[in-house]
Amino acid sequence: MATRTALFLLICVVCSVATVKNVTISKCCKKTETLSNENKCVSTSSFDWTLHIYNPANGRLLTPQNKIPPNWHLKEDSKPRCLRPALLTPTLSSYIPFLNGSVYVLGYDELVHSDSFCIDYKAVLICLREQPQSMSSVRVKKCCGKDAIFSNTNNTCIHFKDNSYKIDIGPGKTWAAGFPNCNHQEIVLTGKLHDAEMQNNGSLLLRETKTLLPAGNYCLEHVLENAGRSASIMVCQEHLPSVKVEHTKTNDLRFTIYPIALALSAVFLAATLAASAILPASHHVLHWRCQIHHVICLLVGNVLLCITQLMGKMDPTPCSLM
C-alpha cells in the first residue's frame, strides 16, 4: 500500500503542476443515452453523473459530484478504440478521475489519458495496457497490492517485500489491487484462505459459514500481527452473517494465559485477606484498613475479569453495568 500511495501522490503532484486547461472528454453515448453493463447505449431519463473528480490543487473532490467540471467539453457518442475495453463502474472497480481529464485505475495501477477512455453517467469505458488474454482472466483482489501487507495495529497497509508472503490463488487468475467496496459497514477479517475454497470464477466459499463471496466482495492479504503460511480474508461486514463476524482470533494463546493468571492472583489475594483476619491486633490500625479495602477491590476486579475471559463472547450489558 505504501508503494501504491507513493504512486498516487506522485500522480497528484504531476497533475497539479500543470495548469488546469480545457479538455475534451469523450462521452460513450449520446446525451440522452447511457452505457449499459453490456457496453450498449440505451435511452435514459436520468442525467446525473456519478463522478468523484479529484482536484490535486486543493486535495479535495469537486462538488457537486453529479455535474461535470466546467473545463470538460464532452464529445458525444465516442468510444475508445481498442480490442477489448474494460467497463468500470463505482460498484465493480475503483477509479479516480482528475480535473485535467486523466483517470487513475486503482485495480490496474494505471494512469489513463483522455484519448483512451470515455465516460458516461454511471460508468467508464477504458483501454488498458494489459493484453486481451489477461483482461479476460479472473481477477482476485490483493488488499494492499504488490510488496505490501496489512498492519492491524496501524490499521493500514505497510511496505513489506518478502517472497515468503506470496499468496497462491491457483491457475487462470490474476491479481488486482484494492479493498472491497463497502456500502455502510466496516471491513472485517473473517478467517484464513486455507479454511476457504477458491472457485474457478474467483468467488470464495467460506466453509464454516457456507457463505459464497463474489470476487469483488473480498480481498486477500497477510496481516503483520498474525502472519502465517496462509493469507487472511478481508470482507465487508454486510456480506457476512452477523453472528459469524470475527474481530479477534479466539484461539489466541493470550486468552488462555490471562484467565489462569487472574485466577492465581485472586487466590493469593484471598490468602492475604485470610492472613489478615487472624491478626486482630492490627485491625484498629488505619494503614491495615486501607490495605484490606484495596485488596478486596483487587480481588473482586480480578474475579470478574477472569469470568469475562472464560466466557468469551457475551452480552456487553453486564460489563457496562459493572
pLDDT tens-place string over residues 6-15:
455 455 544 4
Q: What pLDDT digit, counting tens, does each position of 289-298 carry?
A: 788 888 888 8
- Domain coordinates in residue numbering, the chain: 10-133, 137-244, 254-321
- Name, of 130-139, 183-192, 259-268, 283-292, the range with top average pLDDT: 259-268
Predicted pLDDT at 245? 42
The rounded mean pLDDT for the chain is: 78
Selection from 235, 301, 229 nearest residue 262 by Cα: 301
Predicted pLDDT at 29? 93
Helical segments of 136-183, H only? none
167's CB contacts (< 8 A; 6+ apart) are 142, 193, 220, 221, 222, 231
218's CB contacts (< 8 A; 6+ apart) are 141, 180, 204, 233, 234, 235, 239
What fold does the segment set 137-244 form as a domain? Methuselah ectodomain, domain 2 (2.170.180)
Q: What is the DSSP string of 237-254?
A: GGGS-GGG--SS-TT-TH
Q: How confident is the model over 219-238, as a mean pLDDT?
A: 87
Q: 137 with 148: CB under 8 angstroms?
A: no
Predicted pLDDT at 201? 85
Q: 31 with 82: CB under 8 angstroms?
A: no
Give the percent of the chain with pLDDT over 90.
12
Of all helices (H) and strands (E), which one includes residue 8? helix 2-17
Cis peptide before 80 (omega within 30 of 0): no
Is a pLDDT exceeding 70 seen at residue 193?
yes
CATH number at 10-133: 2.170.180.11
- Alpha-carbon separation of residue 283 from 31, 269, 298, 300 (angstroms): 91, 17, 19, 21
- Alpha-carbon separation of residue 109 from 12, 48, 129, 146, 179 (angstroms): 14, 28, 10, 10, 13
Q: What pLDDT digit, counting tens, does each position of 257-295 carry?
A: 888 888 888 888 888 888 877 877 666 677 777 888 888
Give yes or no on whether 10-133 and 137-244 have one common fold.
yes
Predicted pLDDT at 118? 92
Quick check: helix, strand or coil at residue 29?
coil
Distance between CA atoms of residues 66 and 50, nearest Å: 6
